[in-house]
Amino acid sequence: MLTKEELPVCPVATTVDLIGNKWKLLIMRELLKGTKRFNELHKAIDGISQKVLTENLKKMEADGIIVRKAYPVVPPKVEYSLSELGDSLRPIIDAMSDWGTNYIKENLM
């Protein structure tokens, strides 16, 4: 969680601190499609380990970007979804997706 003291008061740096790494961006991409269970995320994000996924989900939950909902059932069921704040990041991920799509088209086909 960012506090007023340690937050760099710069718009880009602020955003970077919240989602500016590979795994968080890929988690965002999945959750923008809708609510997902832990294992769905694990399978959808290529190369991520259970540990790293858990760690990033915790950070993002602490930052208020995602919401974790655990159902008291056996076997356990946990769902992750975007908070309102998280969903407001949609334009950024969309922009990255659009750019990547175009890049692939231009450079790799």
Partner DNA sequence: CGGTATCCCTAAAGATACTG
Partner DNA sequence: CAGTATCTTTAGGGATACCG
Q: Which residues bind a second copy (CB under 8 A)?
A: 4, 7-16, 18, 20-22, 25-26, 29, 46, 85, 88-89, 91-93, 95-104, 108
Position among 14, 15, 35, 49 found at the interface with DNA (CB under 7 A)? 49
Residue 20, contacted partner among a second copy, DNA, none, CB below 5-8 A by kind:
a second copy
User: Which of 35, 54, 101, 102 is close enough to bind DNA by CB under 7 A?
Assistant: 54
* Beta bridge partners of residue 78, listed in sequence order: 70
N- to C-terminal Cα separation, the chain: 42
The string over 16-31, giving b where at least 16 C-beta atoms fall within 10 Å of a residue's C-beta and e elsewhere, is: eebbeeebbebbbeeb
Distances (CA, A) of 54 to 14, 60, 62, 79: 22, 10, 12, 13
Q: How far is the CB of 27 from DNA (least distance, A)?
A: 11
Q: 83 and 67 in contact (C-beta within 8 Å)? A: yes
CB nearer to DNA: give 51 or 105.
51
Verify binding: residue 22, DNA, rule CB under 7 A: yes
Residue in 25, 32, 37, 81 binding DNA, rule: CB under 7 A: 37
